[in-house]
Structure 1
Amino acid sequence: MSVTENVDVALVSPHYLAGGGDPAWITAGLHRGCGWSAHPDPLVPRVVLTSPENGAVLRLGPDPEGPWWALQHAPVDRRRAWSVSFGARTPVEIIAGFTDALTDPATAQAPAPDPYEPLRQAGWLEGHDHDGLTSPDGLAHIEHFTHGFTDCWFARTAVSEDPEGLIWRAYLSGDTPAHLITGFTRALADEAPLPRDPYPLRVPLNARRQARVTTMQLASAAVGLALERRVTALANRSKQPVPAPMPPMTPPPRPTR
């Protein structure tokens, strides 16, 4: 009779304070699960992935002065080019909400959603002195900023208004498809705690007073296979038939006398 080995796992909530996590949650998912091409350069500490149709390029690189994650998409038909970026300590599970929507062949067929709706359903609050929505604890905020020729989405998590209080921020250009922004906000609204390695705990230092961390034991096999299961699930999506878009409603003929 075999004995199942357990390992300690830290569950962090709210999830937007959990820190970046394992980048392979994104990169392996795109490369092995969605067929994105990798462009390795052993002399540069950077990952570059290109979508199968060469329309999108994801760059991950250590940049202390800017965002570590940057994704650019070329113009397609009448849709203009768009770009998004995420800070180093943005949880990869939240970024995955965006990249999973981008690579899901079924999401583009659905009607354009309201990106704010998942957050409203999760109890996020309208701001009194600013636009957008703020998490119930006041630490996370997202806003669709439109002024003059500026059109973009900003999201940030901060424990104070001081520069030292910033945990992470994200930028999504206004031309980013709405269903992709909703994928991001849906992941941002998810209230499930995120698993992290407790030794050492990677929760950002300036967030540890606000973060709730519970350490528990889980089966090591389940923990180790989580990424493989994710890659398999992403790969299986492309094998599913894509539902055809709904045809436009045709009004009934007028009655004739």
Structure 2
Amino acid sequence: MSPTPESIEVGFIAPRHLAGSGDPAWITVPLHQACGWTYEDDPLMPRVVLTSPDKTAVLRLEPHPDGQWWTLHHAPDGPRPAWYASFGAQTPVELIAGFMDALTAPTPPDATDPFEPLLQQSWKTAPGAPGLMASDRTAFVQRPGDEHSPGPWFITATLGHDRPVWQARFGESTPPHLISAFTTALADPQPVWRTNDVLGLPTIDPNIISHRFLDVPAAYVAAALTERTESLSGRHNTPPPNASPPGPAAPRVPRRR
């Protein structure tokens, strides 16, 4: 059945780490409207820069053919030195949102072992570098190093040794509770939804991913971002955000296909 003008065909994709990038506005709009991050963009360049209210963190979204598209740099905080996080172009926005929502939470959750959410979903020991892998071997969470110098974290989605899909990287000093928020979102077995064409997925191999399509009222799809933004605004006891984009343009960049 074809969708009506009042409905949109929505695909529900699992595993979520192979669902494609999604809409960057899922990250940028709540940061600006709900969390008070200021943004700048250049109409001549496909990039967005968001800065936290206290100026300690800067998130850049800048398409780069050979590098990470999302990069976050955080200034030193007390005894903790400066740290960074970065995410490849095809990293699902839901996973980045888990990380950023934890970063902007008024009260940070207690630190937990980033491997724990994965173990709860039956991830297994990965060969080679210390870490864990998904049961279908399409995702790996690794931290090379030792107890004296544990080093950075590398989280990789892949369709084989010669087909990496995306990678997230966290510096050695990244707060553990933020990495745990990312691995919690990564391990979540619930599918994520996409409105873009299925051909934009990293793979359509039914042996690797499942995708179920439903016609959803267009109003529900349009309201999803507003509801997310309002929910995050409530954490800070701020007034409901304006649903329209801030300023002359929304902090968005073109999606990578």
Fold conserved between structures, TM > 0.5: yes
Instruction: Tell me what 2:24 maps to.
Output: 23
Max radius of gyration: which structure?
A: 1
Instruction: Tell me what 2:204 maps to.
Output: 208
The yes-or-no answer on 1:234 pairing with 2:217 is no
The yes-or-no answer on 1:105 pairing with 2:97 is no
**Which stretch of the first structure deviates more once superposed, 229-238 or 40-49?**
40-49
Q: CA deviation at 1:136?
A: 1.0
Structure 1: which 5+ residue stretches go unaligned? 241-257
Question: Given that residues 116 and 185 in structure 1 are in contact (C-alpha distance below 8 angstroms), is that contact kept between their aligned partners in structure 2?
Answer: yes
Instruction: Tell me what 1:246 maps to.
Output: none
Q: For 1:201 and 1:229, locate their aligned partners in 2 and report how far apart those are by CA, in whole Å.
A: 28
**Residues 58-91 of structure 1, C-alpha deviations (whole Å, 9 max, x = no match):** 0001100100000000001111000000000000
Question: Given that residues 8 and 195 in structure 2 are in contact (C-alpha distance below 8 angstroms), is that contact kept between their aligned partners in structure 1?
Answer: no
Where do 4+ consecutive residues of structure 1 move more than 4 Å? 147-150
Report the residue type matching 1:229 in the other structure.
Answer: E
Q: For 1:76 and 1:128, locate their aligned partners in 2 and report how far apart those are by CA, in whole Å.
A: 35
Instruction: Tell me what 2:122 maps to.
Output: 123
SS at match of 2:29: helix
**Which stretch of the first structure deviates more once superposed, 210-219 or 16-25?**
210-219
The yes-or-no answer on 1:166 pairing with 2:173 is no
Q: For 2:86 and 2:7, locate their aligned partners in 1 and report how far apart those are by CA, in whole Å.
A: 36
Q: For 2:78 and 2:21, locate their aligned partners in 1 and report how far apart those are by CA, in whole Å.
A: 34
Instruction: Tell me what 1:66 maps to.
Output: 67
**Which stretch of the first structure deviates more once superposed, 140-149 or 83-92?**
140-149
Q: CA deviation at 1:146?
A: 1.8
Q: CA deviation at 1:50?
A: 0.0
Q: CA deviation at 1:222?
A: 1.1
Instruction: Tell me what 2:153 maps to.
Output: 153
Instruction: Tell me what 1:192 maps to.
Output: 190
Instruction: Tell me what 1:243 maps to.
Output: none
Identity of aligned residues (%): 44
**Residues 205-256 of structure 1, C-alpha deviations (whole Å, 9 max, x = no match):** xx2212211111112211110000011111111129xxxxxxxxxxxxxxxx
Q: CA deviation at 1:9?
A: 0.4
Question: Given that residues 198 and 204 in structure 2 are in contact (C-alpha distance below 8 angstroms), is that contact kept between their aligned partners in structure 1?
Answer: no
Instruction: Tell me what 1:225 maps to.
Output: 223
Instruction: Tell me what 1:136 maps to.
Output: 135
Aligned length: 232
Q: For 2:216 and 2:196, locate their aligned partners in 1 and report how far apart those are by CA, in whole Å.
A: 13
Q: For 2:196 and 2:49, locate their aligned partners in 1 and report how far apart those are by CA, in whole Å.
A: 29
SS at match of 2:91: coil
Q: For 2:128 and 2:173, locate their aligned partners in 1 and report how far apart those are by CA, in whole Å.
A: 26
CA 1:129–1:103: 2 relative to 1, 3 Å: same
Q: For 1:200 and 1:129, locate their aligned partners in 2 and report how far apart those are by CA, in whole Å.
A: 33
TM-score normalised per structure 2: 0.86
**Which stretch of the first structure deviates more once superposed, 192-201 or 43-52?**
192-201
Instruction: Tell me what 1:248 maps to.
Output: none
Q: For 1:103 and 1:226, locate their aligned partners in 2 and report how far apart those are by CA, in whole Å.
A: 20
The yes-or-no answer on 1:179 pairing with 2:180 is no
Alignment map for 1:7-86 (pairs within 5 Å) = 7-86=8-87
CA 1:198–1:53: 2 relative to 1, 3 Å: closer
Report the residue type matching 1:156 in the other structure.
Answer: T
Report the residue type matching 2:155 in the other structure.
Answer: A
Report the residue type matching 1:154 in the other structure.
Answer: F
Query: What CA RMSD, in Å, does the superposition of the two structures yield over aligned residues?
Result: 1.8
